[in-house]
Structure 1
Amino acid sequence: MMGSWKPTGIVVSALIIFSSIAYLLLSSTFINPIRHQHTSTTSSRHFRAPAINPFAELNDDEASEIYTFLQESPNSLNLSKDTRGGNQIYLIEVLRPNKTDAVDYLDNHKARPDRWARVSTLEVHSDDAFIVDHMVGPLPPSNDTQILPLTYLHNSGRDYVQSPVSDVFAMLDWALSIGENASDITQELLGATTNRDDLDDPDALVIGCRPSFLHSGRTVQWLEFFGSGMDSDSRSILPQGLYVKLDIPSANPATWKTGQWFYNGILYDNDTALREAIKSPDFVKLELNLDGSWTDTEDFGTSIPERDMPPPLSIQPYGPRYHLDRDQSYISWMGFSFYLATAQATALSLFDIRYNNTRLIYELGLQEALAHYAGVEPLQSGLEFLDTFFGMGSMMFSLVPGVDCPGHAEYLDMSYFKGGKMYTNRNAICVFEYTSDAPLQRHTSTFSATVSRNTYLVVRSVSTVGNYDYTIDYIFYLDGSIEVKLRASGYIFGAFHAEPRDRPDPHDEHTNEYGYRIHDALHTSMHDHVVNFKADLDICGTSNTLVRTSIEPLQRTYDWDKPEVSGVRNTMHMVHKPVTEETGLNWPSNSRDMYLVTAPGSTNKWGETRAYRIQPGTGMGNPAHLTILNSTTLGRSALWSASDLWVLKNHPDTEPGSAHHLNYLAPLEPLVDFEAMVDGESIDEEDLVVYFNLGSHHVPSSQDIPNTLMHTSASSVMFVPFNYFDHDVSRAVRQGVRIDRRREAQAQMSKKGESDKEEVRKSRVVRAEKETKDDEGVRYFGGRYEGPVSVSEEMLSPDLSHYMKERLDGQWKAVRNSVGGGLLGLFVGKEKGEDDGGRRMDW
């Protein structure tokens, strides 16, 4: 296979963390599972999905059979059994069926699509390493099973990217040796050194890095020293302000060398020059950025009476009203139904979303999560992350019952196969109904009031990628609306604040150009979060048109205004314009435009075209797109980030997504080039796909220490029925009350007359005290609580004694979260041997 390749000059010039590559390569063998006890109920014991889930991830048996088949049968992969060298399998997951085949199966009762797998291998040739995608199927393995290059999903036409690293451990050892060789410098300036021998040393330094230039096999990187943050996992806010430049002209370790050093705004030619400068009496040492209680996420010491009182909680004493088929990951609720599916890179997706058995959305799910920084020093000035590279799915860790989700939520696991093993993240997805603090509907008139509860269904997961925790909600409302909501928390990625130890540094016009000082030697770094999602909408079928309905000012003369208004009347009207070609769109100022996905061939009872509206949801304002134009580090790897949303002609079988997690390694020649997908095709009455972005322009302040708060970082997009139904369909399923005193008031008025109003008021008060719940003027619609209920302690305060534990050899033992991404990929820590003789890197 390699003989037919022509990987000439695969340019990799985006910001890549070389230990991100280490993470990718090591994870094929050394990632440990996070486990937690499985929580289940009997709420849907007899409920079954209408069909086997065609989107489901491979189970353990399927994946193991593929792994054995590839390892033991003769094939072109040339796999090695030596985990330290040769070609390796690092990923096996389901290759989801084409939309045409899946729809035939779900709608027309055709045969279930064949199961195929996506298999990624690491192939090492001399000093070069490649990550190669294959498709293997049909499954289970048999004489008919084929191993083919997986290219039809990539508009690059390739099935591989080049990895900048071929010997991971050599790279990591070298990075650590740089710290050791400069231990006199780090001790003098930072008061600490690296320590590869003591994994738990809280005073040791770790090393973070980012490439500033990659081209034709040459990599230039900047390293920075960080505090370990051992106790609180706070290393991303413990930069130390000392940097060193690395020149890596090839993958051969013999050619690697260190270059300039950077400290306090000054570039030194090498470590010798820095050592000489330190000896000078004029040398300025900077404040130290030391760990301490200020990085702790909890305050166990402060107590006030109100804090010691348990807060109000959501309860569900009669069990769930949704139905869940665990075997098929299928949910039904109040007219909605859909399948769940997970992937190692892109986490949780929803498929075949229907309302009253009519499909609204074929696929709704995450594509990529971008964080792009800016700053005044070598690391922050070009730092960026594409987090699916690290595994937004494999890092869906166990949710904390009663806190991440209400005590009455149900949980589903996330399993993935890597390095020959199946790992399971217990309780990685929660499902629950929730009643909002505000009504769905209400109205008060002279003698009546009607109010309806706003109860909705939530499917939630959290992906912890290094320093950030991304909470993603898929929310379903009683009126047929669907919301995708993103919240972020965790530690910011801080920049070093260069403050001389012997005098305060005066502020100037550049002081707050990239952020704000938030601690002794810590500055914030402005950055954009842009998280891309796919919505394959099928509104009344696959023949859809996007209509841009604008609300515009108008001057018009009306005959009925004369003679009082002699000229034009200033008013407003709507202007409807179909969007006829593929394009990117931004949320308009003053919300003046509505984006409607219409079904031109279908009208409601009133003759209006049925549609769903796409609009910003319940987050903090409009979601953001990337501020930076033509990002130097991103290259062509994430061009979907340039606008708020995109509408394209759907080619689901050849353009199934806007991104690929390996785009991170080939930014100038990505496997999936989004711009190539936006090629001017007509989108009038076509199968449409919408790619929309959530996120924000994050300029952290002192309130982000120690962690960013979720209510300040939320963003969402909603899909809302717009003339889709003949009326508000929530009326038939919502719960509430109507209180009508009209008849009573009329009777009292008739009997007593106007002069007795005060007596009427008094008699009503007395009557109300004696009245029972059968008051004829109070009518409830839907179920209600009519007496005391029994709520278990588990619902109010779930037992967490076995959280992050697995029962092994008859005992509950703690297991570790393999948290990666921004930290795992960035920070080079220490390494230690495992019981099986393998090597695991700790970061």
Structure 2
Amino acid sequence: MISTVKKHCVLVSAFIAFIFFIITPTLPLIKRVRTSLVPSRGHDAGAFRAPKLNVWADLSTEEAEDVVNFLFKKSDLNLTRSSLATSHDNQIFFVEVLQPNKTDVLGYLTGSSAPPDRWARVAIVQSATEEALIVNFKVGPLPINEAAEILSLEFCYSSGRNYVANSISIQDELVAWSLSKLVEFSDITQELLGDDEDPFDPNGLSVGGRLSSVENGTAVVWVHFALSNPTGGTSTLLPQGLYTQIDASTRDSSNWKILQWYYNNVLYDTANDLRDAINAPGFKKAGRNTDGPWTETVDFSEGHADRSKPPPTMIQPTGARYHIDEEENYVSWMGFEFFMRTSSDAGVALHDIKFHGDSVIYELGLQEALAHYAGDDPTQGGLEFMDTSFYMGRLMFELVPGYDCPAYATYLSTSYHFAEKTVVNQNSICVFEHTADYPIQRHSSTTRVSVSRNTYLVVRFVSTVWNYDYTFDYIFYLDGTIEVKVRASGFIFAAFWTGNEANEDEYGFRVHDSLASSMHDHVLNFKADLDIAGADNTMVRLGIEPITLEYPWDDDRIKPRNTMHLVQRPVEKETGLDWARNSGEMLIVMNQNKTNEWGEKRGYRVQPGSGIGSPTHLTILNSTALGKSALWASRDLWVLKRKDTEPRSASSLNFLDPWDPLVDFSKFVDDEDIVQEDLVIFFNLGMHHVPHSGDIPNTLMHTSSSSVMFTPFNFHNRDPSRLNSQGVQLDVEAKGAKPRYFGQTYHEGVKLKKSDLEPDLTKFGGSSGNVSWVSKLVGPIPWA
């Protein structure tokens, strides 16, 4: 018999790992370095330069270190070094650049003013006081000197506060308390869930939790039991069907208690009630979920006969056609130009996107990634995740060349400063040009065939938020179209299957012995600050509607004629919109003061893109779990007047106070006039995910993708891709065809190295920024 004290030490440590993961300091920076994994090739990095400074760029390592040193000199902050801090100390949570206000940037971009001052945004975990808080400050201007100051940062939060109550500040006490309490219930876990020979087995029993309620900085938590598998990450497929509720509603552990137990569709008020039921005749045990080959993501067996042949692959034998200034993170390709930046919570965003010199989008980037579940057990019944709270930017790990991105892509690294140290995530962004498997244009006639290759540029990063891997793409097309696309893969957060016939298949489907899928909505919110040929724009709803009319030229026998027509309706007030039924309406952002050569107002259409269907919004109405923390998820997109005081639709700290969040999106929609104003579109990507047997072991990316496109609409005088595309015109003659190439084509063969087709991956993971870093930092992460 193993020591129950040691056993529960393992269980509780796994539970606390999540809390530690949330509040461990992280100071995000970008390190503009060239990858050491992939040879430097593909663009003239030495010659190409950005026309302006990247005023959105993340803090350099030196800037972050100066800010940290400045903070430790402020005695009133009472800071403790993170390596020594407890849950009753004040420590630095993160430091990153405070994004400059657009009002201050536009003058610099147009050449009428100097670059705006740089400031750092600082979050402090304040736990040395009676009430635990996370507090936001601004520090600057940078570089730090005698004039630098630390100021309260609240202008960018609709709550008007610079702080949020920290309901998960009591990790040390929770560990000690749980050790003293849960040992009393080891007979229950051993009887229902079995025993482990080794209490420190990483594949043994572990626990995770769901915040049942958060109020005034306190928390009630439902804890669930599962099997761990930190190597394969399959623990979300291995729930064990036992749940207990812990009341940690004060910071004083003497007031904490275990409230209820739940097992096999029965709620028990006390542990003794559950013991009595176990010992009573006829007690029915639920099954168990055990690990095995069914959770393996790959199969090394021989497989299909043609699997022995390598698949086709893309190559780039003559070098890249895009250009990157890695010092300023500035990209140019086929008339497009833009700046890149990264943030610790939301990953990569783009700024000042232009096409052939015309402004299109000032800012494009992720705001929040929501997953909301439904189910009939205490975990799935109220489970929701707002993934920026896990800091999706720092979870941008190393990409696999030749698999995540083509071998010839340019790989860029990012870095984050946590615990007063800098960690580099090598090769966590890739930029590449690709050719589609279909042309962008073609036409055949009796004497001529013309066809143009469809090439596009991709900026890609992957954020792994425990069980899910989100692949984010910003895609640029030759005609000026910009697409934002998200694909998901990874392990589903499955539910325990009890065989309850009363609600069979109500929330999902049985996918293994004691495992059920769990329905959930993915809603990922993005910001698009459109500047269509200038900052003053109008959203127009262009309806495609049926109508019955009489035309003077119609024959009397068919009068009146049933037909259709276009109806333009300007959106005059801030509002939320949904994609039209039957795609019967187009949403176009126009500049009413700018026209093309034909007198038509220049615009860009906002439309569903190339995913598996129209992007979705949240199904649940007035979510009791979300409160006011994600009200942007209730509609497909929102059109609002841009304000410096509303830079983000969400905060990564919203989950800590969902009923009075730092950013309450409902306050953004205040009935303002938006005709010919600086507009912002907050749009959602996502899907209603009802996993089935095909999601075992992993969800597949082609079945879980969503995108939105921004497409030129009368923006040009003609299709601009004619100047950018490469292809052939075949003049058909009696003796055969005469090809005439436009753009460049290949005149001779090319020689390829094996690494052009299959990169050397033996050095993968050599940087400190890989998954091993997170595992070392937090241990096995028990919940997403």
* TM-score, L = length of structure 2: 0.94
Partner of 1:564, secondary structure, is: helix
- What is the 5 A alignment of 1:766-781? 777-781=738-742
1:144-189 per-residue CA deviation (whole Å, 9 max, x = no partner) reads 1010000111111100001113332222444466554322212211
CA distance in 2, matches of 1:826, 1:403: 28
Answering whether residue 751 of structure 2 is matched by residue 790 of structure 1, we say: yes
- 1:716 corresponds in structure 2 to 707
Task: Pick closer, same or farther for the CA change 1:734–1:308 going to 2, 3 Å.
Answer: same
Answering whether residue 681 of structure 2 is matched by residue 690 of structure 1, we say: yes
Equivalent position amino acid for 1:664 in 2: F
Q: Determine if contact 1:614/1:718 at 8 Å carries over to the other structure.
A: yes
- 2:576 corresponds in structure 1 to 584
CA distance in 1, matches of 2:698, 2:770: 25
Answering whether residue 733 of structure 2 is matched by residue 735 of structure 1, we say: no
Q: Determine if contact 2:604/2:711 at 8 Å carries over to the other structure.
A: yes
Residue 240 (structure 1) shift: 0.3
- 1:575 corresponds in structure 2 to 567
Q: Which moved more, 1:631-640 or 1:254-263?
A: 254-263
CA distance in 1, matches of 2:776, 2:389: 10
Answering whether residue 102 of structure 2 is matched by residue 99 of structure 1, we say: yes
1:648-697 per-residue CA deviation (whole Å, 9 max, x = no partner) reads 0010x211111111111111111111000000000001000000000000
Task: Pick closer, same or farther for the CA change 1:122–1:128 going to 2, 3 Å.
Answer: same
Residue 51 (structure 1) shift: 1.4
Q: Determine if contact 1:369/1:388 at 8 Å carries over to the other structure.
A: yes
CA distance in 2, matches of 1:68, 1:802: 35
Q: Determine if contact 2:525/2:682 at 8 Å carries over to the other structure.
A: yes
Task: Pick closer, same or farther for the CA change 1:165–1:251 going to 2, 3 Å.
Answer: farther
Which of 115, 119, 142 aligns to 2:118? It is: 115
Q: Structure 1 regions of 5+ residues with no counterpart?
A: 1-16, 500-504, 746-763, 769-774, 808-812, 828-842
1:426-459 per-residue CA deviation (whole Å, 9 max, x = no partner) reads 1010000000001100001112211100000000
Answering whether residue 505 of structure 2 is matched by residue 512 of structure 1, we say: yes
Answering whether residue 85 of structure 2 is matched by residue 83 of structure 1, we say: yes
Q: Which moved more, 1:662-671 or 1:363-372?
A: 662-671
Which of 813, 818, 830 aligns to 2:774? It is: 818
CA distance in 2, matches of 1:584, 1:819: 41
- 2:279 corresponds in structure 1 to 279
- What is the 5 A alignment of 1:321-336? 321-336=321-336
CA distance in 1, matches of 2:442, 2:606: 25
Which of 20, 23, 26 aligns to 2:21? It is: 23
1:626-662 per-residue CA deviation (whole Å, 9 max, x = no partner) reads 00000001000000000000000010x2111111111
- 1:369 corresponds in structure 2 to 369
Partner of 1:220, secondary structure, is: strand
Partner of 2:63, secondary structure, is: helix
Q: Determine if contact 1:156/1:672 at 8 Å carries over to the other structure.
A: yes
Residue 80 (structure 1) shift: 2.2
Q: Determine if contact 2:395/2:464 at 8 Å carries over to the other structure.
A: yes
- What is the 5 A alignment of 1:114-153? 114-153=117-156
Residue 249 (structure 1) shift: 2.6
- 1:834 corresponds in structure 2 to none
- 1:562 corresponds in structure 2 to 555
CA distance in 1, matches of 2:694, 2:366: 29
Residue 822 (structure 1) shift: 13
Task: Pick closer, same or farther for the CA change 1:57–1:176 going to 2, 3 Å.
Answer: farther
Q: Determine if contact 1:323/1:332 at 8 Å carries over to the other structure.
A: yes
Answering whether residue 24 of structure 2 is matched by residue 63 of structure 1, we say: no
- 1:619 corresponds in structure 2 to 611
- 1:832 corresponds in structure 2 to none
Partner of 2:106, secondary structure, is: helix
Equivalent position amino acid for 1:612 in 2: Y
- 1:647 corresponds in structure 2 to 639
Partner of 2:211, secondary structure, is: strand
Residue 348 (structure 1) shift: 0.5
Residue 41 (structure 1) shift: 2.1
Q: Determine if contact 1:36/1:804 at 8 Å carries over to the other structure.
A: no
- 1:49 corresponds in structure 2 to 50
Task: Pick closer, same or farther for the CA change 1:21–1:47 going to 2, 3 Å.
Answer: same
Q: Determine if contact 2:25/2:92 at 8 Å carries over to the other structure.
A: no
Q: Determine if contact 2:348/2:365 at 8 Å carries over to the other structure.
A: yes
Task: Pick closer, same or farther for the CA change 1:634–1:825 going to 2, 3 Å.
Answer: farther
Task: Pick closer, same or farther for the CA change 1:173–1:28 going to 2, 3 Å.
Answer: farther
- What is the 5 A alignment of 1:532-551? 532-551=525-544
- 2:469 corresponds in structure 1 to 469
Partner of 1:23, secondary structure, is: helix
Q: Determine if contact 2:166/2:217 at 8 Å carries over to the other structure.
A: no
CA distance in 1, matches of 2:517, 2:164: 34
Q: Determine if contact 2:731/2:739 at 8 Å carries over to the other structure.
A: yes
CA distance in 2, matches of 1:354, 1:191: 61
CA distance in 2, matches of 1:172, 1:239: 22
Residue 229 (structure 1) shift: 2.2
Residue 564 (structure 1) shift: 3.4
CA distance in 2, matches of 1:69, 1:110: 29
- 1:402 corresponds in structure 2 to 402
- 2:12 corresponds in structure 1 to none
- What is the 5 A alignment of 1:310-459? 310-459=310-459
Equivalent position amino acid for 2:376 in 1: V
CA distance in 1, matches of 2:249, 2:474: 46
- 2:6 corresponds in structure 1 to none
Task: Pick closer, same or farther for the CA change 1:613–1:322 going to 2, 3 Å.
Answer: same
Partner of 1:144, secondary structure, is: coil
Task: Pick closer, same or farther for the CA change 1:407–1:341 going to 2, 3 Å.
Answer: same
Q: If you compute each CA radius of gyration, which structure gives the higher value, 1 or 2?
A: 1
Q: Determine if contact 1:465/1:819 at 8 Å carries over to the other structure.
A: no
Residue 224 (structure 1) shift: 0.7
Which of 642, 656, 662 aligns to 2:647? It is: 656
CA distance in 1, matches of 2:707, 2:776: 25
- 1:804 corresponds in structure 2 to 765
